[in-house]
Each structure stands twice: as C-alpha cells, then as structure tokens.
Chain A
Amino acid sequence: MPQSDIPLLWSALGANALAVLFYLLHVQIRRPAIWRFAFALVLTGFAVQTLTLALRWFAAGYLPVTNLFSTLFFFSWCLAATYVYFELRYRLHASGLFVMLVNLVLLAAALQRDPAIPALVPALDTPLFTLHIVFSFLGYALFTMAFSLGVLYLVRRVTGSALIPDLSKLRRLNEEAIFLGFIFFTLCMVFGSLWAYLAWGYWFSWNIKGVWSFIVWLFYAGMCHAKFVRRWQGTGYALLSIAGFGVVLFTYLGIGLLLRSNHPLG
C-alpha cells in the first residue's frame, strides 16, 4: 500500500467530519456562507478520496475493491460522488447533512480495518469483476441517497422545516435516485452473472449473497413500478426507500458479518 494513503485517508475523514459539523451549524445559523463552506469541505474530501483511490488503483494495478476496508472506502467514494452530483444539479444545501453523516460513518468504519491491498486472486482478475463492483457500489450509493431523501421527506413532512427542499422536489429526487440505482444495479447483476458463468460455470449462484442481490434487484424493480401508483407516492415511497436501504445494508454488510457466504467478496 502506498505510504501516502494513511494521511490522505485521515484528511478525507477530517474534511467529511468538518462538513458534517458545518451542516449542523447551518441548521442553527442559517447563513448561505456556512453551507457553501460545508459543501466546499465535501468537495475537498471527495477530491482527496478520489486521489487516494487513484493512487491505490495505480499501486495495485487493478481496482482494489476486494476486502471490507476497500469496499467501505469505495462505497463512501461512490456516495460522495452521488451527493456531489445531486447537490450540483439540484442544490440540496443543508439537506446534505444526512447523506454526509452516512458517508462519515462509512469512512470511519473503513479506517478501523486494515487498508493493505491484498494480492489479486485469478478469479477476480477480469474486467467483468471491475464492472460488476463499480455498478454494484454506484447502485448501493444511489439507494443510500434515496434512503437519505426518504428520511428528509418524512422530516420535512413532520416539521415543515424550510431548510429542507419542498416535498414535491424531494419526491422527484427520490424517484430519480431509485431509478438510477436500479439501472446501475441491473448492470451490476448482468456483469456479475456473466463473470460467474465464465469463472464457475453457472450464471446464477444460490450462495446467500447471490440470492439477496436478486432480492435487492426485485425490491427496487417493484419500487420502479410503485411510483406509478398514486397511493405509494410521497410518504409510501419514502418508507419503501428506507426499507430498501435495510435490504441493501443486509446484503452488503449483514451477510458478510452475520452469515456464511461463498461469494467472492464475502
């Protein structure tokens, strides 16, 4: 692992922690300069994370997303990228607090793990693995974004706070996050299945992670349809986004930590 990684990782964590603090401050003192500074810190943290990822990729010779540290770090990078996209496009302002809080938890959890880059096993040495992993975490990040937007929707509905965008905007953004997440997760499933077929001789595996990945896909496929049903729009959709995040968390972390799986990434 490059020696420069450790200070870079801590710098990214520091920038994210400060961003969260400034977003919290903005809740108390509502001045545009504060959320602007908070977002500048988010951009700084994201830039540092991008540099760290690039250095690790260069050092390893492959996208290093093969153990819990690197998947947490990559998940955090994808979530930061997703938030930056939503902020730049839709100006969520202080609503970033919740997303960045989730991102801070991911980054802090990653730093508890060994950041050493493991040797690449031959089964993972294929572009299909890289595509599978990139689309998987982009999907997870968008589902996490949808979860954050769902929580914001409920908070806004209960409190009516002017700090949070209006309900129709939140509903629209939530639907967009779910749709994009589903598209990316579909691509993740396709590349994963093709890779499994070439590496193990079957394209659908009954290992518990494979089964739950299918559940994630099916759940969000259902959600992509539910947005067309009036009674599921708004609050119902926000609740489904929160439930969906539970399914994602269980698939990503719960299975690896609580159950035994023979999926290549645990």
Chain B
Amino acid sequence: MKGIQTMIKELWNFLCSLKLAIVLASLSTLIIGAGSMVMPAHPEIFGDLDRMTLTNWYAAVASQHPLLTWWLPVAGLLLISLGVNTLCCFCDWLMRLRSRWRKTGEYLIHLGFILLLAGYLWGAWAGNRTEGLRLPPGKSVPLPAPEGYALRLEDFRALTGPGGRPIDMISDLSLLRGEEVVARKTVRTNHPLLYQGLVVVPLSFATETSGFRFLRPGRGLVDLVTGETLELSGQERLEVLDFAPHVLRQSNGRVRRIGDQLRSPAFLLELRAADKQIWKGWYLLREGLPEALEHRLNLRPVGPLENRISVVTANYDPGAGLAMAGGACLTAGALFAFFSYYRKRRRQERPEVI
C-alpha cells in the first residue's frame, strides 16, 4: 500500500515537474519550428489550413502527404502532454494556494494556456468552417453547421473608396433557426455576427443576375424574376418559375444550365388559364419567344437585373467560448504577474531553484 502511494506521489511529481515542462516546450518549439519550414513551399497542402478545421484538413489533405505533415500530429501530442503537465502544475498550486497565492498571476497564465488548448482541440474536433458562402438578398441559405440554422441577407452595401476600390462590405444579416430569427446583425469588417460559437464575417461580394427587364409595347417596362407573374388577356397568366443566366439547349431539346455568368439567359415559364396548365417551357432570350407565347405577348429585352450578393465566412467553433475564457485568464494573469513582479522583488521573494 505504501509502495503504491509512493508510486502515485512520484508519478504526480513527474507530471508536475518543471523540467518536464521545459523539455516539452523545447521539443514543441523545435518540432513546430522545423516542420513549419515546409509550409510556405507547399501552399497546395498547407494553404487550406485556415479554411477548414484541423481534423477535416488532416482527413482531406494531410493524410495524402504524410512525409510533409507528420510533424503536426507529433507537435499536437507534445502540446497535449504540455497541457497535461500545465494542468497538473495548476492543480498542485491550487492545493497549496494558501502559501502560494502570490503566484496567482503566473498560474492564471497556466490556466489560460490549458483553456486555449482545450478550446482549440474542441473546435478542431466538433467545429466547421465554411468559406465563400454566397448570400443573395432575401433568400435563406442553410448553414452546414450548426444544424438547423440558416442565414438570410436582408440588405447589402459595398463601401467604395477613391477610384471605386471596395473598402468594406456591409451586410444586414438575420440568423434563423427554422423560421424564427434568433439573431440580427449588421456585419462588416471587424464586426461579425456572433451566436453560440458561430461567427459570420464578410469575405467578399459578387454580382448575380436575377432576371431581365423587358419592354411590353403599350404597357411599359416589366421586370421578370423568379416568382413574378404576368397577367395576359383572357384570364391567362404567365408565371416565371426559374431564371438561369447561362444555359445551353441540347440537341434533344432539353435545356442545361452552364454557369452563373450572364451569357445566354433563359426563363422557365408556365402559362396557365384558371388552374389549368396550358404550356410550360424554357424561353431562351437568344432564340426569341417560344411559339406558344408568340401571339399572346410581345416582349423586348432591355437589360439584365443585377443583385449584389454578399459572400461571407461562417465558422462554427464550439470551443470558442472556452478559448475566450482562456484569453481572459491569460490577460488577467499577465496583468497580475506584471504588477506583483516588483512587489515580490522588493520583498526579496526569490523562487525556489531546483
């Protein structure tokens, strides 16, 4: 029994060892320093590290290049060991708090490091990163994570500087859980939407063609976008079911979408009388009105209708709160240690040297 107690005590002393901390910190420094030298030379491997979580990156990219990335799991193991060592030191300090309270600053820094490490690992394991999420105005776009949430762009403005250079992107965003709006925020640089580990920051913006403006001789201008309905004579209605900026009609007559650039625009239309469908098909502007519509309607294309869409980064990091707490501990610890440093020295308090 005494032997086991001695063994546990020795193990605890080893885990709390200052020398172990120095060895682990030195090894981590060497491994990360040497390993990181390959990073700038291989952007195709390491360039995506900030675009996805570490675990996703490891599964998708690093596992394909083990010779260039082996140092990362080794560094991870060393840092986790350092975290365990730091945690043991912190617990050891807590148990002797009455005699060591003057070291509060230094041990808050220890706690901060543990929380940061734990927060990072949690985020890397359970988090998700989505870069380049395109948000057209008024539409709800589901988020990959957390599940059941969607973003809706209410309004978007691009701020331009001298020469028309874009300097900021301002998006009025709503975060929805189902149909319920759970958060609203005007997102711009340095002002993200934050909600329970989700952070949405502006990335870029783009222009999207949402429809076309036409002239109906004798009736003025009409904008055709998805969901729009035109009243025709004799109780007939023409509904716009879809719009595509670039399509191709194949030899079998079917229409295929090619891309988002405005090249060969087309509308999917449905002609109805009361509740009955009379005709449904594609109207390619390049081909002119389909035969079924020619004698019912006269449309002359005027120009495209363009929307600015906001492109954002939506990252979900469940460990962010823990990391924030770690940052707060580091700050408090650093300030406490700073102000107590000279006081301790005035009192001739010298730490134990081993």
Contact = CB atoms under 8 A, between A and B. Distances in A.
B323 A203 contact: yes
A186 interface: yes
A122 interface: yes
A166 interface: no
Interface string B31-51: 011001001100100100110
Contact of B337 (A176, A183, A218, A260): A183
Contacts of B36: 208, 211-212, 215
Contacts, number: 125
A201 B32 contact: no
Contacts of A260: 40, 43
Interface residues of B, number: 51
A184 B43 CA distance: 32
B352 interface: yes
A90 to B, nearest CB: 12
Nearest to A255: B40
A38 B42 CA distance: 50
A223 B330 CA distance: 17
B18 A228 contact: yes
A131 to B, nearest CB: 10
B338 A190 contact: no
Interface in A165-207: 176, 179-180, 183-184, 186-187, 189-190, 193-195, 197-207
Interface in A18-56: none
Interface string B294-336: 0000000000000000000111010010011001001101100
A163 B111 CA distance: 43
B196 interface: no
A204 B127 CA distance: 14
A221 interface: yes
Nearest to B28: A218
Contacts of B330: 186-187, 189-190
A179 B192 contact: no
Contact of B32 (A122, A193, A215): A215
A50 B313 CA distance: 40
Identify whether the interface residues of A are mostly helix, strand, loop, or mixed. helix
A199 B352 CA distance: 43
A214 interface: yes
A204 B19 contact: no
Interface in A64-118: none
A214 B46 contact: no
Given A222-B29, A261-B40, A190 B353 contact: no
A216 to B, nearest CB: 9
Contact of B29 (A195, A218, A259): A218
B1 interface: no
Nearest to A89: B342
A200 B39 contact: no
Contacts of B337: 179, 183
A197 B198 CA distance: 11
Contacts of A229: 18-19, 22, 353-354
Nearest to B162: A119
Given A123-B189, A218-B25, A200 B338 contact: no
A128 to B, nearest CB: 8
A125 B200 CA distance: 18
Contacts of B341: 176, 179-180
Given A206-B49, A228-B354, A201 B313 contact: yes
Contacts of A202: 50, 129, 315, 317
Interface string B189-213: 1111000000111000000000000
A218 B79 CA distance: 10
B168 interface: yes
B40 A198 contact: no
Given A183-B338, A222-B26, A203 B201 contact: no
B200 A201 contact: yes
Nearest to B24: A222
Nearest to A172: B345
Contacts of B3: none
A226 B22 contact: yes
A189 B112 CA distance: 12
B33 A194 contact: no
Given A179-B341, A200-B50, A214-B32, A259 B40 contact: yes
Contacts of A199: 189-190, 192, 201
Contacts of B43: 260
Contacts of B331: 187, 190
A206 B129 contact: no
A189 B18 CA distance: 23
Given A201-B313, A225-B22, 20 more contacts: A183-B334, A184-B334, A187-B330, A187-B331, A190-B327, A190-B334, A199-B189, A199-B190, A199-B201, A200-B201, A201-B200, A202-B50, A205-B50, A206-B46, A208-B40, A211-B32, A215-B29, A215-B32, A228-B353, A259-B40
In the complex, the 6 A-B pairs of residues with the closest C-beta atoms, listed nearest first: A206-B49, A222-B25, A122-B189, A201-B315, A259-B40, A201-B201
Interface of B: 18-19, 21-22, 25-26, 28-29, 32-33, 36, 39-40, 43, 46, 49-50, 109, 113, 120, 129, 161, 167-168, 188-192, 199-201, 313-315, 317, 320, 323-324, 327, 330-331, 333-334, 337-338, 341, 351-354
12 contacts: A179-B337, A184-B334, A186-B330, A186-B333, A189-B330, A199-B201, A201-B315, A203-B320, A222-B29, A225-B25, A228-B354, A229-B354
